[in-house]
């Protein structure tokens, strides 16, 4: 509706669900009086900051398609789902576990993030970082409860940074990066619960016997590039693995 001013909303203190998407808002301060707010959507506005007065019951916020540059000032104690897709964020610094102890889903795809270092919210279960410019993975050892990690369309050439403390990670999407060698794939052996891996559109996926090479290194996988592992594939990969182990001995 082309709204630039939402001061009228200040009086509606019992509002719980507010959708202000596709307007021209630059200021959300009138929402600070809506202390009962549970769900807020402000996609497609002109916001340059996600900073707001702390709202005690707010559980879901979507700031997609704005001009937000950083993650400062997001402090809602019950916030479980935060989306900042398609903004101008360059660093993941600014989120605090103490202030966001309930956060489980963080969506940051389509920004300008170069590294995962400093993401201070360790109880996340789902983290979406596709379509950024990430070339190094740092600080991931804190994510002991993370189950899903999306890193599609980044600049990763090495897979250092994963840790055996990531004992819940089941789904990892690395599609369209720069991973060339299976030695890099081998580094994912530290992930004890990894079941689904997406590696298509990496240079290593063009290699002969690509699926067998990956599976021989990560025998616990149930799915590779969205296709289930067949039993005969699993047996063949196991033979390759045993042969390789024999050579090492």
Q: How confident is the model over 71-123, as pLDDT tens digits?
A: 999 999 999 999 999 999 999 999 988 889 999 999 999 999 999 999 988 89
* Least confident span in 4-8, 153-157, 240-244: 240-244
Q: What is the pLDDT of residue 5?
A: 97
Q: Residue 53: pLDDT above 90?
A: yes
Selection from 168, 164, 173 nearest residue 104 by Cα: 168
Selection from 231, 219, 213, 227 nearest residue 194 by Cα: 219
Q: Residue 226: pLDDT above 90?
A: no
> What totals of helices (H) and strands (E) does the chain contain, helices first?
3, 11
Q: What is the pLDDT of residue 129?
A: 98
Task: Map out the domains of the chain as residue ranges.
Answer: 113-248
pLDDT tens digits, one per residue of 20-36 = 999 999 999 999 999 99
Q: Residue 156: pLDDT above 80?
A: yes
174-205 per-residue burial string, b: 16 or more CB within 10 A, e: under 16: bbbbebeeeebbeebebbeebebbbbbebebb
| pTM attached to this predicted model | 0.95
pLDDT tens digits, one per residue of 187-212 = 999 999 999 999 999 999 999 999 99
| Architecture in CATH for domain 113-248 | Alpha-Beta Horseshoe (3.80)
Side-chain half-sphere of 118: how many Cα atoms within 13 Å?
12
Query: Is residue 63 within 8 Å of 87, Cβ to Cβ?
Result: yes
């Amino acid at each position: 509706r082309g709204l630039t001013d939402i001061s009228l909303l200040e009086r509606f203190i019992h509002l719980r669900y507010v959708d202000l998407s596709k307007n021209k808002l630059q200021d959300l301060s009138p929402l600070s009086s809506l202390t009962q707010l549970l769900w807020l959507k402000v996609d497609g506005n002109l916001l340059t900051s996600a900073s707001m007065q702390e709202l005690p019951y707010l559980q879901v916020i979507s700031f997609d398609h704005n001009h937000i540059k950083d993650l400062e000032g997001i402090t809602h104690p019950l916030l479980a789902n935060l989306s900042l897709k398609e903004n101008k964020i360059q660093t993941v610094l600014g989120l605090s576990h103490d202030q966001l102890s309930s956060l489980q889903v963080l969506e940051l795809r389509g920004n300008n993030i170069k590294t995962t270092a400093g993401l201070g919210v360790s109880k996340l279960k789902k983290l979406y970082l596709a379509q950024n410019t990430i070339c190094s993975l740092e600080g991931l050892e804190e994510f002991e409860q993370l189950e899903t990690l999306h890193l599609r369309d980044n600049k990763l050439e090495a897979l250092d940074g994963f840790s055996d403390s990531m004992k819940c990670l089941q789904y990892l999407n690395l599609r369209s990066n720069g991973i060339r060698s299976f030695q890099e794939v081998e580094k994912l052996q530290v992930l004890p619960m990894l079941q689904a891996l997406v590696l298509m559109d990496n240079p290593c996926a063009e290699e002969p016997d690509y699926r067998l090479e990956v599976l021989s290194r990560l025998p616990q996988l149930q799915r590779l590039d969205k296709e289930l592992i067949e039993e005969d594939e699993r047996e063949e990969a196991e033979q390759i693995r045993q042969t390789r182990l024999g050579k090492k001995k």
